[in-house]
């Protein structure tokens, strides 16, 4: 007599096991004299560009990014570490999950050398071997508690928060990029049609009452006035990058031609907004993480959140308002050391 054993599992769990999810992080060592020498060749220091010290100075906490991955996200498929060419001396280059990516390995030669984060980000889909599903991190974004694949993707779709928002414009802010991105979104998508087609996503309770209220208030306009962007890791489909490059390659080419960030640039938020306009993501609440912009009034909260692992994801964002940098840098390191004191296999 033969027996057939049937296992009942949720379809989402099957997809989580079948679909690979990669992590991508871009990093620059602003203290590298060779990098500084190369950068100074192109540094015009004009008002057009964005070449402030906060874009390049190092907080010396990169090892905790790798420790967080090993402890809290051991399921990750590959870790693509994107760099100008310099590497931290403690990095284990032979780790089986680590793929070290030099700018010249994936960014078209005509854009090199580049000191424009937008160029580095907008070409990520060209990384050889990159999975269709990937999570993009800036080097100030960390995993500080256990996460599952379903926190980032479900059934082949990215997780994200649906919410309209107003664009904030200020000197040295990202509002200009946001505005350029939304201009393209409104060129290719009809807001009312998007809202009607994906109404249950834009008004999902998972977006949170505050976000739903803001979407409702801004829904009076016949176009997208802006979309919510939380300064946390972004979940992308590689196919979205390919699609947008096929459609708006000329605009993206103009951005990538700039050696430094300029007000006329688009950035990787365009890919996020495109996914939302298409209705691709599955709604996810904002409570998964928190971004701390380093200012005096929230500093103690940031240190406590790091050391206790209060959030699954956290961003420690350097700003022009960050004071006493060396002291605050050491306090951040001490807080991470409380949470993640043991070396990871990514370290020698």
Q: Which domain holds residue 312?
A: 16-339
d(C-alpha 27, C-alpha 59), whole Å: 11
Residue 244, in any domain of the structure:
yes
Secondary structure, 3-state, 95-116 = CCCEEEEEHHHHCCHHHCCCCC
Write down the pLDDT at residue 178.
87
Q: Which of 40-49, 50-59, 100-109, 333-342 has the lowest mean pLDDT?
A: 50-59
Pull the structure tokens for residue 43.
């540094």
Residues 83-134 have pLDDT tens digits of: 999 999 999 999 999 999 999 999 999 999 999 999 999 999 999 999 999 9
Write down the pLDDT at residue 286.
87
Write down the pLDDT at residue 36.
86
Q: What is the number of structural domains in the chain? A: 1
Residue 187, in any domain of the structure:
yes
Region 228-236: mean pLDDT is 93
Pairing of strands 133-137, 21-27: parallel
Query: Which of the 8 DSSP states describes residue 34?
Result: H
Please state the pTM of the whole predicted model.
Answer: 0.90
Residue 6, in any domain of the structure:
no
Residue 2, in any domain of the structure:
no
Residue 346, in any domain of the structure:
no
Residues 152-196 have pLDDT tens digits of: 999 999 999 999 999 887 776 777 888 999 999 999 999 999 999
Residue 87, in any domain of the structure:
yes
Region 54-74: mean pLDDT is 86
Q: Which of 8-17, 277-286, 296-305 has the lowest mean pLDDT?
A: 8-17
Write down the pLDDT at residue 108.
98
Cβ–Cβ under 8 Å, residues 58 and 30? yes
Helix (H) or strand (E) segment spanning residue 329? helix 325-339
CATH of the domain at 115: 3.90.550.10
DSSP-assigned states of every residue in 250-314:
HHHHHHHT-SS-BTT---THHHHHHHHHHT-SEE--GGGEEEEE--GGGHHHHHHHHHHT-SSEE
- Burial class from Cβ neighbours inside 10 Å (0-12, 13-18, 19+) for residue 79 reads buried
d(C-alpha 25, C-alpha 233), whole Å: 9
Cβ–Cβ under 8 Å, residues 316 and 55? no
Residue 89, in any domain of the structure:
yes
Segments in 107-224 forming alpha helices (H) = 117-122, 175-188, 191-197, 199-202, 209-218
Q: Is the peptide bond before 232 cis (omega within 30 degrees of 0)?
A: no
Residue 144, in any domain of the structure:
yes
Q: Which of 192-206, 210-224, 273-287, 289-303 has the lowest mean pLDDT?
A: 289-303
Write down the pLDDT at residue 230.
86
């Amino acid at each position: 007599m033969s027996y057939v054993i049937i296992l009942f599992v949720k379809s989402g769990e099957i997809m989580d096991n079948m679909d690979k999810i990669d992590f991508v992080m871009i990093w620059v060592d602003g203290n590298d004299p060779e990098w500084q020498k190369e950068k100074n060749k192109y540094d015009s220091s004009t008002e057009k560009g964005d070449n402030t010290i906060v874009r390049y100075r190092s907080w010396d906490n990169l090892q905790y990014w790798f420790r967080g991955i090993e402890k809290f996200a051991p399921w990750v498929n590959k870790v693509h570490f994107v760099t100008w060419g310099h590497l931290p001396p403690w990095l284990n280059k032979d780790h089986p999950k680590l793929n070290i990516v030099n700018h010249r390995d994936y960014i078209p030669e005509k854009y090199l050398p580049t000191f424009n984060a937008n160029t580095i980000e907008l070409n990520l889909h060209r990384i050889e071997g990159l999975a269709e599903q990937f999570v993009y991190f800036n080097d100030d974004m960390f995993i500080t508690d256990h996460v599952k694949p379903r926190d980032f993707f479900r059934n082949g779709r990215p997780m994200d928060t649906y919410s309209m928002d107003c664009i904030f414009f200020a000197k040295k802010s990202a509002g200009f990029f946001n505005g350029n991105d939304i201009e393209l979104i409104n060129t290719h998508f009809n807001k009312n049609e998007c809202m009607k087609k994906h109404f249950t996503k834009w008004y999902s309770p998972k977006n949170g009452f505050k976000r739903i209220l803001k979407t409702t208030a801004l829904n009076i306009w016949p176009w997208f006035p802006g979309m919510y962007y939380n300064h946390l890791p972004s979940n992308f489909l590689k196919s979205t990058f390919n699609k947008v490059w096929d459609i708006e390659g000329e605009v993206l080419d103009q951005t990538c031609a700039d050696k430094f960030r300029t007000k006329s640039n688009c950035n990787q938020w365009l890919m996020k907004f495109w996914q939302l306009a298409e209705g691709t993501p599955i709604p996810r609440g904002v409570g998964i993480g928190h971004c701390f912009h380093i200012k005096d009034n929230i500093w103690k909260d940031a240190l406590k959140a790091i050391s206790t692992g209060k959030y699954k994801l956290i961003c420690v964002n350097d700003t022009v308002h960050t004071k006493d940098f060396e002291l605050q840098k050491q306090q951040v390191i001490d807080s991470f050391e409380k949470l993640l004191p043991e070396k990871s296999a990514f370290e020698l």
